[in-house]
Amino acid sequence: MGFLKRLIFLKLSNNDLVGSIPSPIEGLESLQRLYLDNNHLEGPIPDEICNLTSLGELLLLQNRISGSIPICIGNLSSLQKFLLSSNNMTSVIPISLWSLEELIFLNLSLNSFSGGLPLEIGKMRTIESIDLSWNRLTGAIPSSVQELESLASLNLSMNSFQGSIPQSIGNLKGLDFLDLSYNELSGAIPESMEGLTYMQNLNLSFNKLSGEIPNGGPFGNFSALSFIRNEALCGNAIFQVPRCKVNGKKSPTDKRLCLLYIMVPIVSAILLVLIICLLRKRQNTGKKAPVSVENLPRIEHPIISYRELCSATNNFSESNLLGAGRFSSVYKGTLANRTDIAVKVLNLHIEGAMKSFDAECEVFCKIRHRNLVKVISTCTNADLRALVLQYVPHGSLEKWLYSNNYNLRLHQRVKIMVDVATVVEYLHHGQPKPIVHCDLKPSNILLNEDLVAQVCDFGIAKILAENKLETQPRTLGTIGYIAPEYGSEGKVSTKGDVYSFGILLLEVITRKKPTDEMFNADMSLRRWVGAAIPDRVLDIVDSELLSTKHEDLTLPEFKRIVLSILELGLECLKDLPEERMDMQTVIIKLNKIKLSLPRQENKVESST
Protein backbone atom coordinates (compact mmCIF):
# COMPACT_ATOMS: atom_id res chain seq x y z
CA MET A 1 0.00 0.00 0.00
CA GLY A 2 2.97 2.28 0.44
CA PHE A 3 3.15 2.85 -3.33
CA LEU A 4 -0.25 4.61 -3.46
CA LYS A 5 1.39 8.02 -3.41
CA ARG A 6 -1.61 10.00 -4.68
CA LEU A 7 -4.33 8.32 -2.60
CA ILE A 8 -6.22 10.89 -0.54
CA PHE A 9 -9.00 8.83 1.13
CA LEU A 10 -8.70 5.30 2.54
CA LYS A 11 -11.77 3.88 4.28
CA LEU A 12 -11.56 0.34 5.70
CA SER A 13 -14.14 0.81 8.46
CA ASN A 14 -16.48 -1.91 9.73
CA ASN A 15 -14.56 -4.94 8.60
CA ASP A 16 -12.90 -7.83 10.41
CA LEU A 17 -9.33 -6.62 9.91
CA VAL A 18 -6.84 -8.13 12.34
CA GLY A 19 -3.16 -7.60 13.04
CA SER A 20 -1.47 -4.24 13.48
CA ILE A 21 -1.42 -1.01 11.47
CA PRO A 22 1.36 -1.63 8.89
CA SER A 23 4.35 0.71 8.97
CA PRO A 24 4.50 1.06 5.10
CA ILE A 25 1.41 3.23 5.52
CA GLU A 26 3.87 6.14 5.66
CA GLY A 27 4.12 5.89 1.88
CA LEU A 28 0.60 7.33 1.50
CA GLU A 29 2.07 10.80 1.49
CA SER A 30 -1.04 12.52 0.03
CA LEU A 31 -3.53 10.84 2.36
CA GLN A 32 -6.07 13.23 3.91
CA ARG A 33 -8.54 10.81 5.50
CA LEU A 34 -7.75 7.44 7.10
CA TYR A 35 -10.67 5.43 8.49
CA LEU A 36 -9.70 2.16 10.21
CA ASP A 37 -12.48 2.20 12.81
CA ASN A 38 -14.60 -0.78 13.89
CA ASN A 39 -12.13 -3.57 13.20
CA HIS A 40 -10.01 -5.91 15.34
CA LEU A 41 -6.67 -4.15 14.92
CA GLU A 42 -4.14 -4.68 17.69
CA GLY A 43 -0.69 -3.48 18.64
CA PRO A 44 0.52 0.12 18.83
CA ILE A 45 0.00 3.10 16.55
CA PRO A 46 3.19 3.08 14.45
CA ASP A 47 5.39 6.18 14.52
CA GLU A 48 5.35 6.09 10.72
CA ILE A 49 1.80 7.45 10.77
CA CYS A 50 3.30 10.80 11.79
CA ASN A 51 4.75 11.12 8.29
CA LEU A 52 1.25 11.57 6.82
CA THR A 53 1.49 15.34 7.18
CA SER A 54 -1.57 15.98 4.95
CA LEU A 55 -3.80 13.91 7.22
CA GLY A 56 -6.93 15.76 8.29
CA GLU A 57 -9.04 12.91 9.72
CA LEU A 58 -7.76 9.86 11.61
CA LEU A 59 -10.39 7.38 12.84
CA LEU A 60 -9.07 4.44 14.88
CA LEU A 61 -11.99 3.96 17.29
CA GLN A 62 -13.51 0.57 18.13
CA ASN A 63 -10.38 -1.58 17.80
CA ARG A 64 -7.98 -3.24 20.22
CA ILE A 65 -5.07 -0.88 19.68
CA SER A 66 -2.75 -0.65 22.68
CA GLY A 67 0.31 1.26 23.83
CA SER A 68 0.57 5.03 23.79
CA ILE A 69 -0.10 7.83 21.30
CA PRO A 70 3.16 8.47 19.39
CA ILE A 71 5.03 11.52 20.68
CA CYS A 72 5.44 12.62 17.07
CA ILE A 73 1.64 13.10 16.73
CA GLY A 74 2.36 16.84 16.79
CA ASN A 75 3.72 16.50 13.23
CA LEU A 76 0.14 16.09 11.94
CA SER A 77 -0.44 19.83 11.95
CA SER A 78 -3.43 19.56 9.57
CA LEU A 79 -5.31 17.06 11.73
CA GLN A 80 -8.91 18.15 12.40
CA LYS A 81 -10.55 14.92 13.62
CA PHE A 82 -8.83 12.34 15.85
CA LEU A 83 -11.09 9.57 17.17
CA LEU A 84 -9.40 6.87 19.25
CA SER A 85 -12.20 5.81 21.63
CA SER A 86 -12.88 2.23 22.70
CA ASN A 87 -9.37 0.81 22.48
CA ASN A 88 -6.80 -0.45 24.96
CA MET A 89 -4.57 2.61 25.05
CA THR A 90 -2.48 3.30 28.15
CA SER A 91 0.25 5.70 29.33
CA VAL A 92 -0.05 9.49 29.43
CA ILE A 93 -1.38 11.66 26.63
CA PRO A 94 1.67 13.28 24.97
CA ILE A 95 1.97 17.04 25.29
CA SER A 96 2.54 17.23 21.53
CA LEU A 97 -1.11 16.31 20.97
CA TRP A 98 -2.23 19.59 22.53
CA SER A 99 -0.17 21.52 19.98
CA LEU A 100 -2.54 20.48 17.15
CA GLU A 101 -4.08 23.90 16.68
CA GLU A 102 -6.32 22.81 13.77
CA LEU A 103 -7.96 19.97 15.72
CA ILE A 104 -11.77 20.23 15.91
CA PHE A 105 -12.91 16.83 17.24
CA LEU A 106 -10.96 14.79 19.81
CA ASN A 107 -12.30 11.58 21.34
CA LEU A 108 -10.01 9.43 23.50
CA SER A 109 -12.79 7.93 25.66
CA LEU A 110 -13.06 4.33 26.87
CA ASN A 111 -9.33 3.71 27.16
CA SER A 112 -6.90 3.60 30.08
CA PHE A 113 -4.99 6.85 29.66
CA SER A 114 -3.36 8.11 32.85
CA GLY A 115 -1.66 11.28 34.02
CA GLY A 116 -3.10 14.78 33.95
CA LEU A 117 -4.01 17.54 31.55
CA PRO A 118 -1.29 20.16 30.95
CA LEU A 119 -1.72 23.91 30.53
CA GLU A 120 -0.84 23.36 26.87
CA ILE A 121 -4.42 22.23 26.27
CA GLY A 122 -5.23 25.91 25.86
CA LYS A 123 -3.42 25.98 22.50
CA MET A 124 -6.29 24.17 20.76
CA ARG A 125 -8.15 27.34 19.80
CA THR A 126 -10.36 25.69 17.14
CA ILE A 127 -11.38 22.58 19.13
CA GLU A 128 -15.17 22.10 19.33
CA SER A 129 -15.51 18.74 21.05
CA ILE A 130 -13.30 16.94 23.61
CA ASP A 131 -14.25 13.55 25.07
CA LEU A 132 -11.76 12.05 27.54
CA SER A 133 -14.34 10.08 29.55
CA TRP A 134 -13.84 6.57 30.97
CA ASN A 135 -10.08 6.82 31.47
CA ARG A 136 -7.77 7.05 34.50
CA LEU A 137 -6.83 10.69 34.27
CA THR A 138 -5.90 12.53 37.46
CA GLY A 139 -4.86 15.97 38.67
CA ALA A 140 -6.69 19.26 38.29
CA ILE A 141 -8.64 20.64 35.36
CA PRO A 142 -6.24 23.30 34.04
CA SER A 143 -7.39 26.92 34.10
CA SER A 144 -6.15 27.26 30.50
CA VAL A 145 -9.38 25.65 29.28
CA GLN A 146 -10.64 29.23 29.08
CA GLU A 147 -8.56 29.57 25.91
CA LEU A 148 -10.70 26.96 24.10
CA GLU A 149 -12.94 29.65 22.71
CA SER A 150 -14.66 27.37 20.16
CA LEU A 151 -15.42 24.54 22.60
CA ALA A 152 -19.04 23.34 22.54
CA SER A 153 -18.75 19.93 24.22
CA LEU A 154 -16.45 18.79 27.05
CA ASN A 155 -16.71 15.33 28.64
CA LEU A 156 -14.24 14.47 31.41
CA SER A 157 -16.50 12.02 33.27
CA MET A 158 -15.45 8.68 34.76
CA ASN A 159 -11.91 9.74 35.67
CA SER A 160 -10.17 10.77 38.90
CA PHE A 161 -9.83 14.53 38.43
CA GLN A 162 -9.33 16.42 41.69
CA GLY A 163 -9.33 20.00 42.86
CA SER A 164 -11.94 22.59 42.02
CA ILE A 165 -13.77 23.41 38.81
CA PRO A 166 -11.78 26.39 37.48
CA GLN A 167 -13.56 29.75 37.49
CA SER A 168 -12.21 30.26 34.00
CA ILE A 169 -14.63 27.64 32.66
CA GLY A 170 -17.21 30.42 32.65
CA ASN A 171 -15.33 32.00 29.74
CA LEU A 172 -16.36 29.15 27.40
CA LYS A 173 -19.37 31.08 26.14
CA GLY A 174 -20.22 28.57 23.41
CA LEU A 175 -20.28 25.53 25.72
CA ASP A 176 -23.56 23.58 25.48
CA PHE A 177 -22.48 20.18 26.94
CA LEU A 178 -20.38 19.66 30.07
CA ASP A 179 -20.00 16.32 31.88
CA LEU A 180 -17.63 16.21 34.87
CA SER A 181 -19.46 13.40 36.70
CA TYR A 182 -17.83 10.52 38.54
CA ASN A 183 -14.63 12.32 39.52
CA GLU A 184 -13.23 13.62 42.83
CA LEU A 185 -13.80 17.32 42.23
CA SER A 186 -14.27 19.49 45.31
CA GLY A 187 -15.00 23.11 46.19
CA ALA A 188 -17.82 25.28 44.92
CA ILE A 189 -19.53 25.36 41.54
CA PRO A 190 -18.15 28.55 39.93
CA GLU A 191 -20.66 31.40 39.72
CA SER A 192 -19.04 32.25 36.40
CA MET A 193 -20.93 29.29 34.90
CA GLU A 194 -24.11 31.36 35.12
CA GLY A 195 -22.78 33.12 32.03
CA LEU A 196 -22.85 29.92 29.94
CA THR A 197 -26.12 30.90 28.29
CA TYR A 198 -26.00 28.14 25.67
CA MET A 199 -25.50 25.33 28.18
CA GLN A 200 -28.16 22.65 27.68
CA ASN A 201 -26.60 19.59 29.31
CA LEU A 202 -24.71 19.68 32.60
CA ASN A 203 -23.66 16.73 34.76
CA LEU A 204 -21.64 17.38 37.92
CA SER A 205 -22.95 14.34 39.82
CA PHE A 206 -20.86 11.94 41.90
CA ASN A 207 -18.15 14.34 43.02
CA LYS A 208 -17.32 16.09 46.32
CA LEU A 209 -18.61 19.54 45.46
CA SER A 210 -19.83 21.88 48.20
CA GLY A 211 -21.50 25.24 48.64
CA GLU A 212 -24.44 26.82 46.86
CA ILE A 213 -25.68 25.70 43.45
CA PRO A 214 -25.92 28.83 41.27
CA ASN A 215 -29.42 29.97 40.26
CA GLY A 216 -28.80 32.26 37.33
CA GLY A 217 -28.29 31.68 33.64
CA PRO A 218 -28.82 28.10 32.44
CA PHE A 219 -29.10 26.62 35.96
CA GLY A 220 -32.84 27.22 35.94
CA ASN A 221 -33.11 24.53 33.22
CA PHE A 222 -31.25 21.79 35.10
CA SER A 223 -32.71 19.13 37.39
CA ALA A 224 -31.45 17.45 40.55
CA LEU A 225 -29.86 14.72 38.40
CA SER A 226 -27.13 17.19 37.41
CA PHE A 227 -25.93 17.43 41.03
CA ILE A 228 -26.73 14.17 42.85
CA ARG A 229 -24.20 12.54 45.17
CA ASN A 230 -22.45 15.78 46.09
CA GLU A 231 -23.34 15.63 49.75
CA ALA A 232 -22.23 19.16 50.71
CA LEU A 233 -24.17 21.11 48.08
CA CYS A 234 -27.04 23.39 49.06
CA GLY A 235 -29.42 25.74 47.30
CA ASN A 236 -32.78 25.80 45.56
CA ALA A 237 -35.23 23.10 46.61
CA ILE A 238 -35.75 22.03 42.96
CA PHE A 239 -32.27 20.52 43.09
CA GLN A 240 -33.31 18.35 46.06
CA VAL A 241 -30.52 19.70 48.27
CA PRO A 242 -30.72 21.45 51.68
CA ARG A 243 -31.25 25.20 51.81
CA CYS A 244 -28.05 27.17 52.29
CA LYS A 245 -27.37 28.78 55.66
CA VAL A 246 -27.21 32.58 55.48
CA ASN A 247 -24.61 34.37 57.62
CA GLY A 248 -24.70 37.95 58.80
CA LYS A 249 -27.68 40.35 59.02
CA LYS A 250 -31.07 38.73 58.78
CA SER A 251 -33.13 39.54 55.72
CA PRO A 252 -36.93 39.78 55.76
CA THR A 253 -36.93 36.24 54.47
CA ASP A 254 -34.79 35.16 57.43
CA LYS A 255 -37.25 36.80 59.81
CA ARG A 256 -40.13 34.97 58.23
CA LEU A 257 -38.18 31.73 58.57
CA CYS A 258 -37.57 32.45 62.26
CA LEU A 259 -41.31 32.97 62.72
CA LEU A 260 -41.90 29.65 61.01
CA TYR A 261 -39.41 27.95 63.32
CA ILE A 262 -41.40 29.26 66.29
CA MET A 263 -44.82 28.46 64.90
CA VAL A 264 -44.11 24.99 63.48
CA PRO A 265 -43.42 23.33 66.88
CA ILE A 266 -46.58 24.93 68.31
CA VAL A 267 -48.73 23.75 65.41
CA SER A 268 -47.06 20.33 65.52
CA ALA A 269 -47.87 19.99 69.22
CA ILE A 270 -51.52 20.84 68.57
CA LEU A 271 -51.68 18.33 65.72
CA LEU A 272 -50.03 15.70 67.90
CA VAL A 273 -52.70 16.18 70.59
CA LEU A 274 -55.43 15.87 67.96
CA ILE A 275 -53.86 12.69 66.56
CA ILE A 276 -53.62 11.14 70.04
CA CYS A 277 -57.27 11.95 70.66
CA LEU A 278 -58.28 10.40 67.35
CA LEU A 279 -56.25 7.28 68.05
CA ARG A 280 -57.84 6.86 71.47
CA LYS A 281 -61.25 7.32 69.95
CA ARG A 282 -60.50 4.66 67.35
CA GLN A 283 -59.28 2.28 70.06
CA ASN A 284 -62.41 2.91 72.07
CA THR A 285 -64.61 2.00 69.11
CA GLY A 286 -62.77 -1.30 68.72
CA LYS A 287 -61.20 -0.49 65.34
CA LYS A 288 -57.69 -1.48 64.36
CA ALA A 289 -55.08 1.21 65.10
CA PRO A 290 -52.93 2.38 62.21
CA VAL A 291 -49.39 1.15 61.79
CA SER A 292 -46.84 3.17 63.77
CA VAL A 293 -45.40 6.06 61.79
CA GLU A 294 -41.96 5.08 63.09
CA ASN A 295 -42.12 1.82 61.16
CA LEU A 296 -43.01 3.41 57.84
CA PRO A 297 -40.33 4.20 55.24
CA ARG A 298 -39.33 7.85 55.24
CA ILE A 299 -39.72 9.32 51.76
CA GLU A 300 -39.57 13.09 51.40
CA HIS A 301 -42.14 13.53 48.67
CA PRO A 302 -45.33 15.60 48.34
CA ILE A 303 -48.31 14.23 50.23
CA ILE A 304 -51.06 12.69 48.09
CA SER A 305 -54.14 11.62 49.98
CA TYR A 306 -56.10 8.42 49.59
CA ARG A 307 -59.08 10.47 48.40
CA GLU A 308 -56.92 12.02 45.63
CA LEU A 309 -55.81 8.57 44.51
CA CYS A 310 -59.39 7.32 44.42
CA SER A 311 -60.39 10.29 42.31
CA ALA A 312 -57.35 9.88 40.03
CA THR A 313 -57.96 6.16 39.37
CA ASN A 314 -61.78 6.22 39.24
CA ASN A 315 -61.87 4.39 42.59
CA PHE A 316 -59.22 1.91 41.41
CA SER A 317 -61.54 0.63 38.71
CA GLU A 318 -60.70 -2.39 36.61
CA SER A 319 -60.65 -0.20 33.49
CA ASN A 320 -57.67 1.64 35.00
CA LEU A 321 -55.76 -1.53 35.83
CA LEU A 322 -52.38 -1.65 34.06
CA GLY A 323 -51.23 -4.96 35.48
CA ALA A 324 -51.06 -7.18 38.52
CA GLY A 325 -48.22 -9.10 40.13
CA ARG A 326 -47.61 -11.33 43.09
CA PHE A 327 -47.58 -8.57 45.68
CA SER A 328 -49.38 -5.67 44.04
CA SER A 329 -51.61 -4.22 41.34
CA VAL A 330 -50.83 -1.13 39.26
CA TYR A 331 -53.46 1.40 38.19
CA LYS A 332 -53.23 4.33 35.82
CA GLY A 333 -54.49 7.65 37.15
CA THR A 334 -54.51 11.38 36.52
CA LEU A 335 -54.14 13.86 39.37
CA ALA A 336 -56.08 17.12 39.59
CA ASN A 337 -53.06 18.96 38.16
CA ARG A 338 -53.27 16.68 35.08
CA THR A 339 -50.15 14.71 36.00
CA ASP A 340 -50.43 11.13 34.77
CA ILE A 341 -49.44 8.61 37.43
CA ALA A 342 -49.17 4.88 37.99
CA VAL A 343 -50.36 3.79 41.43
CA LYS A 344 -48.84 0.57 42.76
CA VAL A 345 -51.18 -0.80 45.42
CA LEU A 346 -49.93 -3.47 47.77
CA ASN A 347 -51.96 -6.63 48.35
CA LEU A 348 -51.84 -6.70 52.13
CA HIS A 349 -53.27 -10.24 52.29
CA ILE A 350 -50.20 -11.83 50.65
CA GLU A 351 -47.47 -13.02 53.00
CA GLY A 352 -44.28 -11.04 52.44
CA ALA A 353 -46.08 -8.14 50.75
CA MET A 354 -45.23 -5.64 53.50
CA LYS A 355 -41.58 -6.61 53.33
CA SER A 356 -41.69 -6.13 49.56
CA PHE A 357 -43.18 -2.65 49.98
CA ASP A 358 -40.56 -1.69 52.60
CA ALA A 359 -37.73 -2.93 50.36
CA GLU A 360 -39.00 -0.91 47.41
CA CYS A 361 -39.40 2.24 49.51
CA GLU A 362 -35.93 1.83 51.00
CA VAL A 363 -34.35 1.55 47.57
CA PHE A 364 -36.28 4.45 46.05
CA CYS A 365 -35.31 6.68 49.00
CA LYS A 366 -31.64 6.18 48.20
CA ILE A 367 -31.45 6.43 44.42
CA ARG A 368 -32.20 8.78 41.54
CA HIS A 369 -31.40 8.08 37.92
CA ARG A 370 -32.87 9.01 34.54
CA ASN A 371 -33.32 5.31 33.77
CA LEU A 372 -35.31 4.57 36.92
CA VAL A 373 -39.04 5.07 37.18
CA LYS A 374 -39.55 8.22 39.26
CA VAL A 375 -41.39 7.97 42.58
CA ILE A 376 -43.76 10.91 43.05
CA SER A 377 -45.06 10.01 46.52
CA THR A 378 -46.45 7.30 48.78
CA CYS A 379 -49.84 6.89 50.36
CA THR A 380 -50.05 4.94 53.60
CA ASN A 381 -52.80 4.32 56.12
CA ALA A 382 -54.09 1.42 58.21
CA ASP A 383 -55.63 -0.32 55.19
CA LEU A 384 -53.49 0.82 52.26
CA ARG A 385 -49.88 0.83 51.08
CA ALA A 386 -49.32 2.50 47.72
CA LEU A 387 -46.44 3.92 45.71
CA VAL A 388 -47.32 6.78 43.38
CA LEU A 389 -45.04 6.54 40.34
CA GLN A 390 -44.51 8.56 37.22
CA TYR A 391 -46.60 7.07 34.42
CA VAL A 392 -44.45 5.70 31.61
CA PRO A 393 -46.65 5.90 28.52
CA HIS A 394 -45.33 3.27 26.16
CA GLY A 395 -45.56 0.25 28.40
CA SER A 396 -43.06 -2.48 29.03
CA LEU A 397 -40.29 -3.95 26.92
CA GLU A 398 -42.19 -7.24 27.12
CA LYS A 399 -45.13 -5.66 25.33
CA TRP A 400 -42.89 -4.25 22.63
CA LEU A 401 -41.16 -7.59 22.06
CA TYR A 402 -44.18 -9.86 22.01
CA SER A 403 -47.06 -7.76 20.67
CA ASN A 404 -47.78 -7.85 16.95
CA ASN A 405 -48.60 -4.15 17.01
CA TYR A 406 -45.08 -3.01 17.87
CA ASN A 407 -41.67 -3.31 16.35
CA LEU A 408 -38.27 -2.43 17.78
CA ARG A 409 -35.41 -2.05 15.34
CA LEU A 410 -31.89 -3.19 16.12
CA HIS A 411 -30.52 0.20 17.14
CA GLN A 412 -33.52 0.73 19.43
CA ARG A 413 -33.00 -2.61 21.14
CA VAL A 414 -29.31 -1.88 21.65
CA LYS A 415 -30.08 1.58 23.04
CA ILE A 416 -32.61 0.12 25.48
CA MET A 417 -30.06 -2.42 26.69
CA VAL A 418 -27.50 0.37 27.16
CA ASP A 419 -30.08 2.27 29.24
CA VAL A 420 -30.68 -0.79 31.43
CA ALA A 421 -26.97 -1.54 31.77
CA THR A 422 -26.32 2.08 32.76
CA VAL A 423 -28.80 2.01 35.62
CA VAL A 424 -27.69 -1.43 36.85
CA GLU A 425 -24.09 -0.20 36.85
CA TYR A 426 -25.30 2.80 38.88
CA LEU A 427 -27.02 0.49 41.38
CA HIS A 428 -23.98 -1.76 41.74
CA HIS A 429 -21.14 0.77 41.69
CA GLY A 430 -22.65 4.22 42.26
CA GLN A 431 -23.84 3.62 45.83
CA PRO A 432 -22.08 3.45 49.21
CA LYS A 433 -23.64 0.00 49.50
CA PRO A 434 -24.39 -1.95 46.30
CA ILE A 435 -28.05 -2.42 45.41
CA VAL A 436 -29.06 -5.62 43.63
CA HIS A 437 -32.32 -5.47 41.67
CA CYS A 438 -32.88 -9.25 41.80
CA ASP A 439 -35.66 -9.29 39.18
CA LEU A 440 -34.45 -7.89 35.86
CA LYS A 441 -36.83 -8.96 33.09
CA PRO A 442 -38.67 -7.31 30.16
CA SER A 443 -41.87 -6.65 32.15
CA ASN A 444 -39.85 -4.60 34.66
CA ILE A 445 -38.37 -2.37 31.94
CA LEU A 446 -40.70 0.43 30.86
CA LEU A 447 -40.29 2.68 27.81
CA ASN A 448 -41.16 6.38 27.71
CA GLU A 449 -42.27 8.39 24.69
CA ASP A 450 -38.67 8.55 23.41
CA LEU A 451 -38.15 4.83 24.01
CA VAL A 452 -35.81 5.60 26.90
CA ALA A 453 -35.79 2.57 29.20
CA GLN A 454 -36.77 3.00 32.84
CA VAL A 455 -36.31 0.13 35.27
CA CYS A 456 -38.99 -0.47 37.89
CA ASP A 457 -40.15 -2.98 40.53
CA PHE A 458 -37.64 -3.12 43.37
CA GLY A 459 -39.91 -5.22 45.55
CA ILE A 460 -37.25 -7.84 46.23
CA ALA A 461 -34.17 -5.67 45.80
CA LYS A 462 -31.33 -6.09 48.26
CA ILE A 463 -29.04 -3.44 49.70
CA LEU A 464 -25.88 -5.41 50.40
CA ALA A 465 -24.08 -4.90 53.68
CA GLU A 466 -20.71 -3.18 53.57
CA ASN A 467 -17.80 -5.52 52.76
CA LYS A 468 -20.26 -8.31 52.11
CA LEU A 469 -20.96 -9.52 48.61
CA GLU A 470 -23.74 -11.96 49.39
CA THR A 471 -26.71 -12.26 51.68
CA GLN A 472 -29.48 -14.80 52.20
CA PRO A 473 -32.81 -13.77 50.67
CA ARG A 474 -36.17 -15.33 51.42
CA THR A 475 -37.67 -14.23 48.11
CA LEU A 476 -36.65 -15.20 44.62
CA GLY A 477 -36.76 -13.50 41.26
CA THR A 478 -38.49 -14.85 38.19
CA ILE A 479 -37.80 -18.35 36.94
CA GLY A 480 -35.68 -18.24 33.80
CA TYR A 481 -33.93 -15.00 34.77
CA ILE A 482 -32.44 -15.89 38.15
CA ALA A 483 -28.81 -16.98 38.39
CA PRO A 484 -28.07 -20.64 39.26
CA GLU A 485 -26.57 -19.77 42.67
CA TYR A 486 -29.59 -17.60 43.46
CA GLY A 487 -32.13 -20.33 42.84
CA SER A 488 -30.23 -23.30 44.26
CA GLU A 489 -28.41 -21.78 47.24
CA GLY A 490 -30.43 -18.66 47.95
CA LYS A 491 -27.38 -16.43 47.46
CA VAL A 492 -27.77 -12.97 45.99
CA SER A 493 -25.00 -10.72 44.69
CA THR A 494 -24.39 -8.17 41.98
CA LYS A 495 -23.28 -11.02 39.71
CA GLY A 496 -26.85 -12.35 39.85
CA ASP A 497 -28.05 -9.18 38.10
CA VAL A 498 -25.30 -9.68 35.51
CA TYR A 499 -26.72 -13.14 34.81
CA SER A 500 -30.26 -11.74 34.43
CA PHE A 501 -28.93 -9.03 32.10
CA GLY A 502 -27.29 -11.74 29.98
CA ILE A 503 -30.68 -13.45 29.58
CA LEU A 504 -32.16 -10.07 28.58
CA LEU A 505 -29.53 -9.61 25.86
CA LEU A 506 -30.35 -13.01 24.35
CA GLU A 507 -34.08 -12.40 24.62
CA VAL A 508 -34.14 -8.99 22.89
CA ILE A 509 -32.26 -10.41 19.90
CA THR A 510 -34.02 -13.78 19.59
CA ARG A 511 -37.46 -12.77 20.95
CA LYS A 512 -37.53 -16.02 22.87
CA LYS A 513 -38.42 -16.09 26.55
CA PRO A 514 -36.23 -18.31 28.72
CA THR A 515 -39.47 -20.05 29.73
CA ASP A 516 -40.60 -20.69 26.14
CA GLU A 517 -42.21 -24.10 25.67
CA MET A 518 -39.39 -25.11 23.32
CA PHE A 519 -36.97 -25.12 26.27
CA ASN A 520 -36.71 -27.89 28.84
CA ALA A 521 -34.19 -29.52 31.16
CA ASP A 522 -32.00 -30.51 28.21
CA MET A 523 -32.25 -27.31 26.15
CA SER A 524 -32.22 -23.81 27.63
CA LEU A 525 -32.13 -20.40 25.95
CA ARG A 526 -28.43 -20.17 26.72
CA ARG A 527 -27.64 -23.57 25.18
CA TRP A 528 -29.82 -22.88 22.15
CA VAL A 529 -27.99 -19.63 21.41
CA GLY A 530 -24.58 -21.16 22.18
CA ALA A 531 -25.21 -23.99 19.72
CA ALA A 532 -26.20 -21.59 16.93
CA ILE A 533 -23.31 -19.15 17.02
CA PRO A 534 -21.33 -18.17 15.11
CA ASP A 535 -22.34 -19.96 11.89
CA ARG A 536 -26.13 -20.13 12.29
CA VAL A 537 -26.66 -16.84 14.10
CA LEU A 538 -29.24 -15.59 11.56
CA ASP A 539 -31.34 -18.70 12.19
CA ILE A 540 -32.10 -17.63 15.77
CA VAL A 541 -32.50 -13.87 15.30
CA ASP A 542 -35.99 -12.44 15.81
CA SER A 543 -37.79 -12.64 12.47
CA GLU A 544 -39.02 -9.05 12.98
CA LEU A 545 -35.42 -7.86 12.88
CA LEU A 546 -34.69 -9.86 9.74
CA SER A 547 -37.85 -8.71 7.96
CA THR A 548 -36.97 -5.02 8.26
CA LYS A 549 -34.21 -3.10 6.56
CA HIS A 550 -30.89 -3.41 8.32
CA GLU A 551 -30.62 0.31 9.10
CA ASP A 552 -27.89 1.15 6.58
CA LEU A 553 -26.02 -2.03 7.50
CA THR A 554 -24.99 -4.69 5.05
CA LEU A 555 -26.07 -8.21 5.96
CA PRO A 556 -22.51 -9.15 7.10
CA GLU A 557 -22.40 -6.00 9.28
CA PHE A 558 -25.82 -6.83 10.72
CA LYS A 559 -24.71 -10.39 11.45
CA ARG A 560 -21.49 -9.20 13.10
CA ILE A 561 -23.30 -6.81 15.44
CA VAL A 562 -25.97 -9.36 16.39
CA LEU A 563 -23.25 -11.93 17.02
CA SER A 564 -21.33 -9.54 19.29
CA ILE A 565 -24.49 -8.92 21.36
CA LEU A 566 -25.20 -12.63 21.75
CA GLU A 567 -21.58 -13.35 22.65
CA LEU A 568 -21.71 -10.64 25.32
CA GLY A 569 -24.89 -12.20 26.65
CA LEU A 570 -23.23 -15.60 26.94
CA GLU A 571 -20.26 -13.99 28.74
CA CYS A 572 -22.74 -12.76 31.35
CA LEU A 573 -24.22 -16.24 31.76
CA LYS A 574 -21.22 -18.17 33.02
CA ASP A 575 -22.14 -20.66 35.73
CA LEU A 576 -19.70 -19.41 38.36
CA PRO A 577 -20.44 -15.85 39.59
CA GLU A 578 -16.74 -14.98 39.89
CA GLU A 579 -16.25 -15.77 36.18
CA ARG A 580 -18.87 -13.24 35.08
CA MET A 581 -17.76 -9.72 34.25
CA ASP A 582 -19.10 -6.80 36.30
CA MET A 583 -21.56 -4.25 34.93
CA GLN A 584 -18.85 -1.64 34.43
CA THR A 585 -17.19 -3.96 31.90
CA VAL A 586 -20.54 -4.91 30.38
CA ILE A 587 -21.47 -1.29 29.71
CA ILE A 588 -18.10 -0.58 28.07
CA LYS A 589 -18.56 -3.51 25.70
CA LEU A 590 -22.19 -2.64 25.01
CA ASN A 591 -21.31 0.99 24.28
CA LYS A 592 -18.76 -0.22 21.74
CA ILE A 593 -21.51 -2.17 20.01
CA LYS A 594 -23.82 0.86 20.10
CA LEU A 595 -21.14 3.11 18.59
CA SER A 596 -20.70 0.67 15.70
CA LEU A 597 -24.33 1.21 14.64
CA PRO A 598 -25.28 4.01 12.23
CA ARG A 599 -26.92 6.93 13.98
CA GLN A 600 -30.70 6.68 13.79
CA GLU A 601 -33.58 8.84 14.91
CA ASN A 602 -35.33 7.09 17.76
CA LYS A 603 -38.76 6.95 16.12
CA VAL A 604 -41.55 5.07 17.82
CA GLU A 605 -42.97 2.51 15.42
CA SER A 606 -46.24 0.71 15.96
CA SER A 607 -49.28 -0.21 14.00
CA THR A 608 -51.65 1.01 16.69
Q: Annotate 341-386 with DSSP letters as a single string.
A: EEEEEE-TTSTTHHHHHHHHHHHHHH---TTBPPEEEEEEETTEEE
Q: How far apart are CA 572 and CA 569, in angstroms?
A: 5
Say if residues 363 and 357 touch (Cβ distance below 8 Å): no
Active site residue 439: yes
Over range 274-290, report the average pLDDT.
47
Q: Please state, for a pLDDT cut of 90, what percent of the chain lies above it.
A: 34
| Tens digits of residue pLDDT in 9-30 | 999 998 999 999 999 999 998 9
- Is the model's pLDDT at 297 over the cut of 50? no
pLDDT of residue 549: 54
pLDDT band for position 142 (cuts 50, 70, 90)? very high
What pLDDT, in 10s, does the model give residues 108-130? 999 999 999 999 999 888 898 99
Global pTM exceeds 0.75? no
- Percentage of residues in the chain having pLDDT higher than 70: 79
Q: Look at residue 295 and tell me whether its pLDDT is greater than 80.
A: no
Domains of the chain: residue spans and CATH: 9-204 (3.80.10.10), 293-390 (3.30.200.20), 397-595 (1.10.510.10)
Answer whether 429's CB lies under 8 Å from 584's CB: yes
Mean pLDDT of 421-448: 84
pLDDT band for position 469 (50/70/90)?
very low
| pLDDT, tens digit (0-9, with 9 covering 90-100), for 495-546 | 888 999 999 999 999 999 888 888 887 888 889 999 888 888 888 998 888 7
24: burial class by Cβ within 10 Å (0-12, 13-18, 19+)? Answer: exposed
| Position 607 pLDDT exceeds 90 | no
50 φ/ψ angles, rounded to the nearest 5 degrees: -70, -10
Q: Which one is catalytic: 37, 131, 419, 439?
A: 439
